[in-house]
Each structure stands twice: as structure tokens, then as C-alpha cells.
């Protein structure tokens, strides 16, 4: 998998080990902050009317495409990593779920999903592991076979990448399925597995493998052709001489090292004849362009460059000598490396490429013949456009809020993709001229500048660190709409809603940030910078850093806003039951009351809250409350500052760590866990070393603001109070239970 999610770890921003959660599976309910005062138990008597603070249509000026949900009545998939259609005139759709299920549905009556093959008992999910690749026999359905790629084994050195042939008793609803293992590859680490498979126009089976984990220093798997790692393999599984288990595949005679003996799963004596091309870091999704036979591949970079490769026989695509077209570690590297045909900078927003397809549909004529691909982290989608000189430029088509884990094409050649977080499938469709950018340039024109603009004030129990800025918070929803509370107690605001946050440094108003849910349901962030007199704020586009009272303060770009306001965390972040379960003084009435009680009283929720006291609802502890339980304080801090990205297998991060306050310490995948993205010079490192902060990479990352620091963006100052809190907590841990 791709070090991010794609179910997998996918290398994303390297949000690594900074976050961890605590010791019990559910946090003990704390006492209410203050007693409710006044004669009315609610802080407001009625819901304020909101005629002005409303999110306008999302700007899409210049875009020629849009993303629309393909099957709105279909239940969501669980961590989809590949989508494809079966051969035939009326094909069904297939989807691979990371946990090991091959799922199938009818696109015409797309209301239910069936399980086609269940490998959950065989598949290892650890980090990048899972069910990763699939293709049909070239003669399907006449030949009732399909091929799957997955990982099995739970701890290295037992972790292996596997390709198997699955013989079906029928293709409609298989009951009897026979697996024949074709090839196995030992993995030296727990990510960079690649895992995609496909039959080429030559009817050979291709298998893309990553380098197997960190290769920055001593190891250089992708340049060592005695290993199968870091390579595109090409084998013949259809030759008449193939038999199971003695001879499961034949080597094509024109492979680069075809005369050598077949390779075993680990290090071999000679260059491996299975290799077709090599020098890849983590090929995440690649496909053949059927009219031309060209093999287009997206290779995930390390920290600076994501690349698109046109893969040819005997090509060496450079990793780890080069990252993209740039030197990375050239020591002892050969000449004749093949540069990518295109690359883009990993800026922390665009950070993990997902390979796509050359578009051959008819719905978007201007896209025909162009290679379309995306980024798992930013959700942006590009199409390569000729530069007129034999090269390509990345022409951005659309900026989506989705974690694009895989693309797929239907029988008509139209392009789809899956959102790893929500499990939904989207179609890329023509959008015409798009919507103009009507987001106001000055804050006073937004309709959200004053508390009288239909805004409801609120506060939270555990604030997010924002480089010492103090925040005031408001939200506004359209009249006649309500808030839904989901199973995770996250609040889902209706389309048209706006969240408003004012930021102050040293008492001075410096920024207002609007987070809007546009009428199409997509969230987007818009920062505004206040002038010196605090009378007006001007919209900041593209982000910038300014010096305020000797402090470098970051105004995030619109993309950076959505890197933190993730889909897996519900976008709004602070608006969740455990955060708002506290008392608040409402300025318009002068009353102090519990926020849940107040919002329920003015009928803000789609379903009234159960009639029980606030103390019976989830409640986060204030991390700054030194009289409170240390575990609860640390747990709340990590939930706020880390869990927007670190949420287990559904996370858009390079790990499976889960830092929600409801996750027990033993299940965070961080306690006594070996760090997988560098030790930062710490001996015998652990992400969290119970009772010993000197061996805990977590604390070191929190203390830094370089490329290894956490959070990885939008902060120039470490939270020293937070570091001290987590230090005390780690030193006080006796174990991981």
C-alpha cells in the first residue's frame, strides 16, 4: 500500500508518533465545569435567525470537471483500495476492501453490496498490509479465474506479499473457491508494499512492489535486483507448462534477467528474472493504456517529490538514488537512470500520489488521451498536458476533499475514484464553466463578521494548539436546518453552515478563519487577516507568514486548512459532544449554562438529546486543569491535537495509530511500539516508552518544528506546556494497559 491509507500506511505527511492516547477504553466522565446558574437551565431562549452567514456555492472557476457520487444509494465500503469492473457487456463492479473482502455490486440497481471472496482470515492489515490488488483472467468469464495480491503474516520477518490464482466454481456467486499461490515475497518492514497487479496487453501478469520500508540509509532494495522489492515484476501464468505447485509461472524470455534462475522470496544469488523494471519506492496504482499499451505508474516519493513514470522494460526509475528527477542518495548509484515524465512537489498538502488512467471516455472530450491522476492527501486531481516540447505539465482539474485511494474506469471508459475515508465511489463528470469565486475579499462582506449575523458562540474543553493564539468560536447554520450527531459523537452540520474562529495574539485580533460547508456538501477553509486598527480583515489566498510582536505567525492556505479538518474526523473537529459538554456564559443573555442543554433547548439537533444530566454525556477534560486526572488531561490533549489525522486504519497517515480519547492505550498502536519513520537519534526508541520519556520519539517530535516535527504544518512554535504535560504522563506510565 501506499504509505498513507490508502489503507495502508501511505507516507503522507509523516504525522507520526507525536500522538498517543491513554489508558482506558473509555474516559471516565468528569464533573461539570461549573454549576448551571440563573433561573433558566438554558443559556439562550430561542435559536437566532440566520439570514446572512451562509456558505455560498463553492468556487470552481476554470474547472472543466466535477466529482459527483456515482452510487448514492449504495452502502459505503470499508477502506476501499481498488475498484474495477468485470469484463463483459453488462459488468458488475468489484471493490477490494483493505481488510480482505472482495465485494461486488450491480451498478444498475446499486442498493446493496455482496461479498464475493472473503480473505479476512488470511490477510494481514498491519500498516500498509491488506488486500491490495486484483485482476481477472484474460479469458474471463469463459475461464473462471481471478488473481489477487495481498499480505499475510502479522509481524516481520513473517510478513509476505502474495499473488494467488483463485479458481471459481462459478462467476456469479462463487461457493467453492480454490486458491493456488503463485509467488511470495518477504517484506523487510511494514510499509511500501505496492501490491497492484494487472495483465498487460501481452497477457503476462505484472506485479508492482515497493521497496519494503525505510531505505534512506544502509538499505537500497530498489537498486538491488537480487531482491524482488522496489520492482515491477512480469511473469507468465498462462503458459501451458504452468502447474501448481511445482511450476506456478514461467519467465518471459525478453525479461531483462530472463536467463537467471527464479528468485525466492528473500535475497537471491543473482538478479531476479521476474523483474521487468526497477528503482521504485512505492508504486501506488498503475495501469495500461489499452490503445497504446503504455504502462503509466504513480510512485510515492519520500519527502519532496511525487512522480509519474512511463514504465518500460529494463528501466531503472531511480529510487533511492533519486527522488523524482532530483538526487536523493546518489552514493554508489549507476548511470542511465530514467527520469519521471512528470513530478510535483510534496508540500505537505500534496503529499502522496495515486496513479490513475489515460482517459478514453466520451463525456469529457477535452480530456481524451490525457493521463489523469490524483493525490491521496490533498484530494487534488490532475491531467498531464503536453508542454509542446515532448514533456508534460500538471494541469489541475479539481481540488476535492477526498482521500483518493484508487481510480477505476467503467465499461464506457469513464473515470471514477474511491474515497478511502468515507468508502464512497465518485465519478468525474464535465462541469462546464464552473462556479465563480464569490467568497468575499473583505470579512465584513461575508455576513459572518458580527455576533448578530446569526452566529451562535461556543467554547470547547480541550483547545487545539495554535502557536499561543487565543480563539473565540461561533457557528451558524441555515434557518430551518439542524445538526446531526453521528455514532462517534461528531456533529454533522448541514450544507450552507459556517464555523467562525477569531484568533488573538497578546489580546490583538489578528485572524478570522471561516470554515464553510458549501451547498454541494464540500467543506473549505478561508483565512482573513485583520488590519492594524482591527476594523477590517482581508482574505488571504495561498497562505503566508507574517511577523507579529516578534513571532512568525502562519496564515494557512485553503488546502492546509483541509489537511487538518479531515473527513475522518468529521471536518468541523471541535464541534463534538465531548468538547461542548461544558458551561458557557452567553453574552446576549448574561446566563451561564451547559452548551448541550442550551443547544437542545433551542432545537438545534435533528433528534432531541436524551433527558439525562450533562455529566452523563461524554466530556473531555481541560488539559490545562492541573487538578484533574493526568491520564484524562493527556488523553484530551492528544484527542484534540492528533486524532483529526490519527484514527487507526482509516487514517490519512503513515501509520495505524489511533489517538481518539475513546481508544485504550494498548490499542493506540503507539505504546512500546517501534517507530517506523526514523528514530531521531534516540537509542532503543519507542513511540511511547512507558515510564521513560528519554526513549519516547513522541516527545521529541512534539518539541520540534522542522521536517520531523509534529504537527507537520501551520505551526512555528512548539507547545511547551503540552510537551510538559505529555512528558509527565509518559514518565508516569507503568505499562501499556
How far, CA to CA in Å, does 512 sit from each of 100, 225, 500, 517?
Answer: 45, 54, 7, 16
CA distance 723 to 731: 12
pLDDT of residue 282: 96
Please classify residue 347 by burial: count the beta carbons closer than 10 Å to its beta carbon, then call 0-12 exposed, 13-18 middle and 19+ buried: middle
Give the pLDDT confidence score for residue 244 in this predicted structure.
96
Query: What is the DSSP pairing of strand 275-278 with strand 305-311?
Result: unpaired
Inter-axis angle of helices 630-642 and 720-732, nearest 10 = 130
Core vs surface per residue 373-412: b (16+ CB within 10 A) or e = bbbbbbbbbbbbeeeeeeebebeebbbbbbbbbbbbbbee
C-alpha cell at 554: 502562519
Q: What is the pLDDT of residue 18?
A: 28
Q: Where in the chain is the domain with CATH 2.120.10.30?
A: 65-430
β-sheet bridge partners, residue 286: 297
Q: What distance in Å separates the CA atoms of residue 569 and residue 635, rounded to the nearest whole number?
A: 16
Cα 502–459–635 angle (5° rounding)? 115
What's residue 649's pLDDT? 73
In contact, 378 and 404? CB cutoff 8 Å: no
Whose grid coordinates read 519467465? 251
d(CA 250, CA 234): 10
CATH class of 65-430: mainly beta
Output the nine-digit C-alpha cell for 171: 462467476
Strand, helix or coil for residue 658? strand
> Does residue 213 register a pLDDT over 90?
no
pLDDT tens digits, one per residue of 529-560: 999 999 999 999 878 999 999 999 999 887 77
pLDDT of residue 299: 98
β-pair partners for 498: 476, 516
| Residue 36 pLDDT greater than 70, yes or no | no
Predicted confidence at residue 31, as pLDDT, reads 33
pLDDT at 16: 27
Residue in 641, 700, 639 with CA at minimum distance from that of residue 665: 639
Give the model confidence (pLDDT) of 628-668 as tens digits. Answer: 999 999 999 999 999 988 888 777 665 789 999 999 999 99
Nearest to 124 by CA among 149, 151, 148, 143: 151
For the purposes of burial, counting CB atoms within 10 Å of the CB of 486, is it exposed (0-12), middle (13-18) or buried (19 or more)? exposed
Q: Residue 19: pLDDT band by 50, 70, 90 thresholds?
A: very low
**260-272, pLDDT tens digit by residue?**
999 999 999 999 9
Q: What does the CA dihedral 449, 451, 452, 455 come to, rounded to 10 degrees?
A: 90
Task: Give the pLDDT of residue 156.
Answer: 64
Residue 716 has pLDDT above 90, yes or no: yes
**Per-residue pLDDT band at 35 (split at 50, 70, 90):** very low
What average pLDDT does this structure show over 585-605? Answer: 96
Strands 145-152 and 131-136: antiparallel
pLDDT-derived band at 623, boundaries 50, 70, 90: very high
Place of cell 513511540: 687
pLDDT tier at 703, thresholds 50, 70, 90? very high
More confident residue, 436 or 169: 169
The answer to whether residues 230 and 237 touch, using CB atoms and an 8 Å cutoff, is no
How sure is the predictor about 37, in pLDDT bands with cuts at 50, 70 and 90? very low
Percentage with pLDDT > 90 across the chain: 75
CA-CA distance, 76 to 93, in Å (whole number)?
Answer: 14
Task: State residue 132's pLDDT score.
Answer: 98
- Spatial separation of the C-alpha atoms in residues 285 and 356, rounded to whole Å: 7
SS3 96: strand
Q: Is 144 helix (H, G, I), strand (E, B) or coil?
A: coil
- Rounded Cα distance, 348 and 560, in Å: 8
- Residue 654 has what pLDDT? 59
Closest CA to 508 of 533, 486, 489, 528: 533
Q: Where are the beta strands (DSSP E) in 219-334?
A: 231-235, 275-278, 283-288, 295-299, 305-311, 322-323, 326-327
- How far is Cα 419 from Cα 567, in angstroms, rounded to an integer? 10
Pairwise pLDDT comparison (16 vs 216), residue with the higher score: 216
Give the phi and the psi of residue 36 in degrees, each rounded to 5: -65, 135
- pLDDT tens column, 666-694: 999 999 999 877 788 899 999 999 999 99
Residue 301 cell numbers, joined: 516519493
Largest separation between any pair of C-alpha atoms in the chain:
89
Give me the pLDDT at residue 60, please. 67
**Number of Cβ atoms within 10 Å of the Cβ of 508:** 12
Q: Which of 11, 5, 6 is nearest to 213 (CA)?
A: 11
Query: Residue 608 gets which letter from DSSP?
Result: P
Secondary structure of 501-562 in HEC code, one letter for each residue:
EEEEECCEEEEEEEEEECCCCCEEEEEEEECCCCCCEEECCCCEEEEECCEEEEECCHHHHH
What three-state secondary structure class fits 10?
Answer: coil
Phi and psi at 559, nearest 5°, equal: -65, -40
The answer to whether the Cα torsion of 451, 493, 7, 415 is positive or negative is: negative
Compare 348 and 254 and report the one with higher pLDDT: 254
Amino acid at each position: 500500500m501506499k504509505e498513507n491509507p490508502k489503507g495502508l500506511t501511505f507516507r503522507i505527511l509523516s504525522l507520526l508518533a507525536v500522538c498517543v492516547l491513554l489508558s482506558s477504553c473509555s474516559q471516565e466522565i468528569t464533573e461539570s465545569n461549573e454549576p448551571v446558574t440563573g433561573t433558566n437551565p438554558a443559556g439562550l431562549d430561542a435559536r437566532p435567525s440566520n439570514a446572512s452567514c451562509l456558505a455560498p456555492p463553492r468556487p470552481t472557476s476554470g474547472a472543466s470537471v466535477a466529482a459527483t457520487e456515482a452510487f448514492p444509494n449504495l452502502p459505503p465500503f470499508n477502506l476501499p483500495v481498488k475498484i474495477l469492473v468485470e469484463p463483459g457487456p453488462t459488468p458488475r463492479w468489484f471493490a477490494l476492501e483493505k481488510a480482505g473482502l472482495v465485494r461486488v455490486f450491480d451498478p444498475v440497481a446499486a442498493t446493496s453490496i455482496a461479498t464475493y471472496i472473503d480473505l479476512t482470515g488470511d490477510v494481514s492489515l498491519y500498516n500498509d498490509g491488506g488486500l491490495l490488488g486484483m485482476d481477472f483472467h484474460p479469458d474471463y468469464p469463459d475461464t473462471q479465474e481471478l488473481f489477487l495480491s495481498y499480505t499475510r503474516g502479522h509481524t516481520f520477518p513473517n510478513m509476505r506479499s502474495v499473488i494467488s490464482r483463485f479458481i471459481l466454481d462459478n462467476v456469479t456467486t462463487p461457493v467453492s473457491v480454490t486458491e493456488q499461490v503463485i509467488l511470495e515475497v518477504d517484506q523487510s518492514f511494514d510499509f511500501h508494499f505496492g501490491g497492484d497487479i494487472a495483465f498487460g496487453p501481452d497477457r503476462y501478469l505484472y506485479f508492482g512492489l515497493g521497496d519494503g520500508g525505510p531505505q534512506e540509509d544502509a538499505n537500497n532494495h530498489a537498486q538491488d535486483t537480487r531482491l524482488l522489492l522496489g520492482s515491477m515484476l512480469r511473469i507468465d501464468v498462462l503458459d501451458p507448462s504452468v502447474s501448481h505447485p511445482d511450476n506456478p509461472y514461467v519467465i518471459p524470455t525478453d525479461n531483462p534477467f530472463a536467463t537467471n534462475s527464479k528468485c525466492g522470496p528473500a535475497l537471491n544469488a543473482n538478479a531476479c528474472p521476474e523483474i521487468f523494471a526497477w528503482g521504485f519506492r512505492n508504486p501506488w496504482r498503475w495501469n495500461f493504456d489499452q490503445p497504446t499499451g503504455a504502462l503509466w505508474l504513480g510512485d510515492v516519493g519520500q519527502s519532496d517529490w511525487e512522480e509519474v513514470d512511463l514504465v518500460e522494460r529494463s528501466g531503472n526509475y531511480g529510487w533511492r538514488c533519486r527522488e523524482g528527477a532530483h538526487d536523493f542518495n546518489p552514493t554508489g548509484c549507476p548511470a542511465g537512470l530514467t527520469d519521471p515524465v512528470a513530478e510535483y512537489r510534496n508540500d505537505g498538502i500534496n503529499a502522496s500520489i495515486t496513479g490513475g488512467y489515460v482517459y478514453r471516455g466520451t463525456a469529457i472530450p477535452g480530456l481524451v488521451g490525457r493521463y489523469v491522476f490524483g493525490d491521496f492527501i490533498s484530494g487534488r486531481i490532475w491531467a498531464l498536458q503536453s508542454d509542446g516540447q515532448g514533456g508534460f505539465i500538471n494541469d489541475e482539474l479539481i481540488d476535492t476533499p477526498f482521500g483518493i485511494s484508487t481510480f477505476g474506469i467503467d465499461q464506457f471508459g469513464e473515470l471514477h475514484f474511491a474515497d478511502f475515508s468515507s468508502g464512497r465511489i465518485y465519478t468525474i463528470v464535465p462541469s462546464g464553466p464552473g462556479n465563480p469565486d464569490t467568497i468575499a475579499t473583505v470579512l465584513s462582506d461575508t455576513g459572518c463578521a458580527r455576533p448578530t449575523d446569526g452566529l451562535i458562540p461556543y467554547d470547547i474543553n480541550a483547545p487545539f494548539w495554535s502557536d499561543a493564539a487565543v480563539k473565540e468560536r461561533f457557528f451558524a447554520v441555515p434557518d430551518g436546518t439542524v445538526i446531526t450527531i453521528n455514532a462517534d459523537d461528531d456533529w454533522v452540520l448541514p450544507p450552507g453552515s459556517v464555523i467562525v474562529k477569531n484568533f488573538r495574539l497578546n489580546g490583538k485580533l489578528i485572524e478570522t478563519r471561516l470554515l464553510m460547508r458549501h451547498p454541494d456538501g464540500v467543506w473549505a477553509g478561508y483565512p482573513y487577516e485583520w488590519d492594524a486598527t482591527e476594523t477590517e480583515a482581508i482574505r488571504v489566498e495561498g497562505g503566508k507568514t507574517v511577523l507579529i510582536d516578534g513571532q512568525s505567525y502562519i496564515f494557512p492556505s485553503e488546502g492546509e486548512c483541509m489537511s487538518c479538518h479531515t473527513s475522518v474526523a468529521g471536518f468541523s473537529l471541535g464541534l463534538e459532544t465531548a468538547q461542548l459538554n461544558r458551561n458557557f456564559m452567553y453574552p446576549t443573555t448574561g446566563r451561564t449554562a451547559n452548551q448541550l442543554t442550551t443547544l437542545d433547548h433551542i432545537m438545534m439537533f435533528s433528534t432531541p438529546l436524551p433527558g439525562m444530566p450533562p455529566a452523563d454525556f461524554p466530556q473531555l477534560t481541560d488539559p490545562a486543569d492541573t487538578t484533574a486526572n493526568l491520564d484524562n488531561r493527556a488523553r484530551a490533549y492528544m484527542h484534540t491535537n492528533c486524532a483529526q489525522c490519527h484514527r487507526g486504519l482509516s487514517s490519512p497517515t503513515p501509520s495505524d495509530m489511533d489517538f481518539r480519547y475513546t481508544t485504550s492505550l494498548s490499542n493506540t498502536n503507539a505504546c512500546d511500539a517501534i517507530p517506523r519513520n526514523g528514530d531521531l537519534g534516540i537509542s532503543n526508541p519507542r513511540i511511547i516508552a512507558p515510564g521513560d520519556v528519554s526513549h519516547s520519539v513522541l516527545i521529541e517530535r512534539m518539541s520540534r518544528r522542522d521536517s520531523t516535527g509534529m504537527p507537520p504544518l501551520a505551526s512555528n512554535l512548539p507547545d511547551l506546556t503540552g510537551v510538559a504535560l505529555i512528558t509527565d504522563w509518559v514518565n508516569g506510565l507503568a505499562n501499556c494497559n
